[in-house]
């Protein structure tokens, strides 16, 4: 059952979802049949796009660790504890600062992962049917 404001994407395999983001499973099926030239017997995979946030791509701990290592390379043991006392509040602030910079520069991810993927098979009549899990297409 589709939820209100739920989004969907479709593709010919379970790896590449190349349809635009659409508002229903039916729209995905129609797109794949009409625009992507899917024929009877072809597979269509439909799932929900999940936005990748900048916070998933930025690791402040690694950044700070690299800064510490470079400081140690420059001045030796005098920098061993550099940035060790930076608390989680300051780390979160740095993460937000970096993420905001990427957003402002238009560098936020435009790609997504796909969850809840369902396998459909195109049938006669210009539609597709859900293929039960574990069952191959005919």
pLDDT tens digits, one per residue of 19-74: 999 999 999 999 999 988 888 999 999 999 999 999 999 999 999 999 999 999 99
Instruction: Report strand pairing: 9-11 vs 43-51.
Output: antiparallel
């Amino acid at each position: 059952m589709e939820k209100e404001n739920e989004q969907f994407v479709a593709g010919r395999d379970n790896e590449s979802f190349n349809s635009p983001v659409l508002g229903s499973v039916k729209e995905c099926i129609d797109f794949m049949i009409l625009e992507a030239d899917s024929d009877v017997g072809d597979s269509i995979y439909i799932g929900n796009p999940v936005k990748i946030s900048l916070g998933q791509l930025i690791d402040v701990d690694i950044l700070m660790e690299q800064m510490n290592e470079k400081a140690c390379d420059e001045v030796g043991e005098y920098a061993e504890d550099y940035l060790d006392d930076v608390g989680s509040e300051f780390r979160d602030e740095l993460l937000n600062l970096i993420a905001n910079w990427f957003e402002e520069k238009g560098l936020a991810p435009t790609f997504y992962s796909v969850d809840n993927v369902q396998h459909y098979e195109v049938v006669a009549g210009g539609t597709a049917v859900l293929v039960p899990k574990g069952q191959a297409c005919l």
